[in-house]
Structure 1
Amino acid sequence: MLDSRQLRMFHEVVRSGSYSAAARSLGYTQPAISQQMRALERSVGTPLFTRSGRNLRLTEAGELLSRHAETILADLSAAAEQVAAIKHLALGRVRLCTFPSASATIVAAAVSRLRASNPGVRVELLEAEPPESLALLRGGDCDIALAFSYDAEAGVDHEGMTARPLLDDEMVVVLPADHPLARRRTLALAELADETWIAGCPRCRTTFVAACAAADFSPVISFTTDDNLAMQSLVVAGSGIAVMPGLVLSFLRHPGVVVRPLRPVVRRAVTAYTLADYQHIPAVGTMLGALRAASAESKAQRGGPRGSAKHK
C-alpha cells in the first residue's frame, strides 16, 4: 500500500532532481527525505533510484511510479477539496423520501430555503408512504424519511432512528357546497353516521373506520381512491362525503367543496426520521433544519399551534 506522504516526497524528489532540493521545498531535512525514500522502496519491493555521481536516476520501476504519481496526487487533492466542500455545504446531496401532500407543501418550501442558502447542495426526492418510506431509510436508500402516523395507531419500530416532529395535521370533513350541513362551523362524526363516504389511502381509511367505530357506527364507503383531487370531485358529484388531511386542502382544494373541522379531533403527526449517524452529515442536518422551519411557517399560515387548517 502506497503512503501518500511518501508519494508526495517522491514526486518532489523527481521534480527537483535531488533529496536535498526536495527537502528544502517541502520543509524537511535531507536525511528525513532519504529515510522516507528508502521506506517507499521497501514498500514497493524494488529500487526507485540509482545514483550516477551526484545525480539521481529513476529505475524502470521509478519511471513507472513517477508517471502515476502526479495523477494519484491530483486525485487525492481533488478528493480532499470535494470532501471539504461537502463539510462546508458548498457541495453535497441529501436524499429525501416523502409522501405526496408533504411534497407539495413543507418539502417544497424547505427545498426552496435550502437552495437559497446552500445552492451547491442537491436534493433528490423519492415518494413513498409509511411504512415503506421507513423501510427505505433503514435500507440506506434515503437519508431522511418524512412519515405520518395517526393518534390511534400502534407504535412503529423506530429503533436506531432519530425522530424530528414537524407538525400535527388535523383531519377535516369535506362536503359539497350545497350539503345541508355545509353551514355548520364544526361537525361531530356521530352526526354523519347516515352519510355515504369516499375513503382515501389504506392507512387513512383504517384510521377513519376506527374513528367511526368509536362513534358507534360503521361507515358506508362507496368509493376508495388515493387521488386527493378525484376524492373531492366525487364529493362535488354527490357520490358521498370524505374525511381528508388538512395539509392536502392547504394546496389542493376543489372550488365546489366546503371544509369543516371534525369532532372529536383526529390528527396525524408528520415526522422527519433519519438514522442516528446521518444527522451528523452537514447536508442532512441542514435539510432537517429547513424542514422544521418550513413546518413552522406552515403552522403559522394555517393557524393555531398544531397547524390546523383554517376553514371558510
Structure 2
Amino acid sequence: MFDTRHIRTFHEVVRTGSYSAAARALGYTQPAITQQMKALERDVGTPLFSRSGRGLRLTEAGETLSRHAVVILDDMSAARRQMNSFTRLRAGRVRVCAFPSANATLVPEALALLAAGHPGVSVELLEEEPPGSLRRLARGECDITLAFTYPGLREDVPGEVMEVPLMEDQLLVLLRAGHPLARRRAVRLADLADERWIAGCPRCRVHFLHECAEQGFAPDIAFTTDDNLVVQSLVAEGLGVAMMPGLVLNFLRHPKVAGRALQPASRRQVAAYVLREHLRIPATALVLEELRAVAANKAGC
C-alpha cells in the first residue's frame, strides 16, 4: 500500500522536473526527497525515473503512476473538504428513531430549529415503540432513539448507551364529550372502575393495569389498539374510555373527545438514548441539543 506522503512528493517531483526543485517547493532537503522516491520505488517494485542528462524522465511505470497520483491527490482533497464540512456542522446525516407521538411533536420542532441554523445536516426519521427502538440503537440502525418509560421501569441499556432525560409527559383520561365526568377538571381512575376501556401499546397497557390495581379494580378492556386515532374514535362513539399521554393530544384531538387530568397525577418519562461515542459526532450532538431545547420548552408550558 502506498504512503500518501510519497505520492504527494512524487507528484511534486513530476510537476517541478527535479528532486531539488521539489525539495524547495515542499520545504524538504534534497536527500529527504531522494529517500522518499527510493521508498516509493521499493513499494511499486520498479523504477519510476530515468536520468536524461541532468534532468529526470518518467519511466513507463512512472507515467502510469503520475496519472493515478493526480486522481489520488484530488480524491484526498475532496475527502478533506467533506470531513471539514462534518466537523464544522455544514453537513451530516443523523438517523432518529422515535415513538409515534414524539415523531409528531418533539421531532418536527427540533428539525425546524436544525434546518434554520444548519441546513446541510439531514435527518432520517424512523418510527418504533420501545423497547424495539432501543434494540435498533444497539444494532446500529439509528443514531438517536427517543423512548418513554413509566415510574418503576428502568431501561436495560448497555454501558455504552447514554440516557438523556427530556421531559415528563402527563397522562390523561379520555372521555366522550358528553360523559358526566367530562365536566370535571380532574378524574380519579376509581371513578371509572365500571367503565369499558380501550387499551394502548403493550408498555402503556402494563402501566395502565398497574395504576388500576393501585386504585383497587381490574379494568374491563373492551378494545386494544396502538393507533391513537382509533382510540379516540372509539371513545368518541361511547365504546369506552382510555388513558392517553398528553403528547398525543398536542397534535391529535377528536372534536367529540375530552381529555381530563388524572387524580392523583400520573406521568411517563421521555428520554433520548445515544451511543456515548456518537456524542463526539457534531451533527448527532446538535440534533440531541435541539431535541432537549424543544422538550424543555414543552415541559415549561
Q: Normalising by the residue count of structure 1, what TM-score does the alignment of the two structures yield?
A: 0.94
Q: Deviations over 1:190-222 (max 9, x none)?
A: 111011111111111111011111111110011
Which range is displaced more, 13-22 or 241-250?
Answer: 13-22
In structure 1, what is the equivalent of residue 64 of structure 2?
64
CA distance change for structure 1 residues 205 and 77 in 2, over 3 Å: closer, same or farther? same
1:36 — aligned with what?
Answer: 36
> Is 1:96 matched with 2:96?
yes
3-state SS in 2 of match to 1:181: helix
Indicate conservation of the 8 Å contact 1:174/1:244, yes or no: yes
2:270 maps to 1:270: yes
RMSD: 1.2
Q: CA deviation at 1:115?
A: 0.9
Percent identity, please.
59
Query: Hey, what's the Cα distance between the residues in 2 that align with 1:91 and 1:17?
Result: 39
Specify the alignment match of 2:244 in structure 1.
244
Distance 2:154 2:220 in 1: 25
Query: What SS is found at the alignment partner of 2:37?
Result: helix
CA deviation profile, 1:37-70 (whole Å, cap 9, x unmatched): 1121122222111101112111122111111110
Runs of 4+ in 1 over 4 A off after TM superposition: none
Aligned AA for 2:98? T
Q: One-letter code of the match for 1:159?
A: G
Structure 1 position 154, deviation (Å) = 5.2
Q: Does residue 127 of the first structure (1) align with residue 121 of the second (2)?
A: no
Give, as a single letter, the amino acid of the residue that structure 2 aligns with 1:138: A
Q: Where does structure 2 lack aligned partners over 5 or more consecutive residues?
A: none
**Which residue number corresponds to residue 172 of structure 1?**
172
- Contact 1:145–1:272 (8 Å) recurs in 2: yes
Give, as a single letter, the amino acid of the residue that structure 2 aligns with 1:203: R
SS at match of 1:79: helix
Contact 1:104–1:251, Cα closer than 8 Å, also in 2: yes
Letter in 1 for 2:252: L
2:101 maps to a residue whose letter is S
1:155/1:66 CA distance change after superposition, 3 Å: closer
Deviates more, 1:105-114 or 1:146-155: 146-155
Letter in 2 for 1:23: A
**CA displacement at 1:19 relative to structure 2:** 1.1
**Aligned-partner residue type, residue 296 of structure 2:** A
Amino acid at match of 1:59: T
TM-score (norm 2): 0.97
| Aligned twin of 2:112 | 112
Take 2:154 and 2:112, find their aligned partners in 1: how far apart are those partners? 34
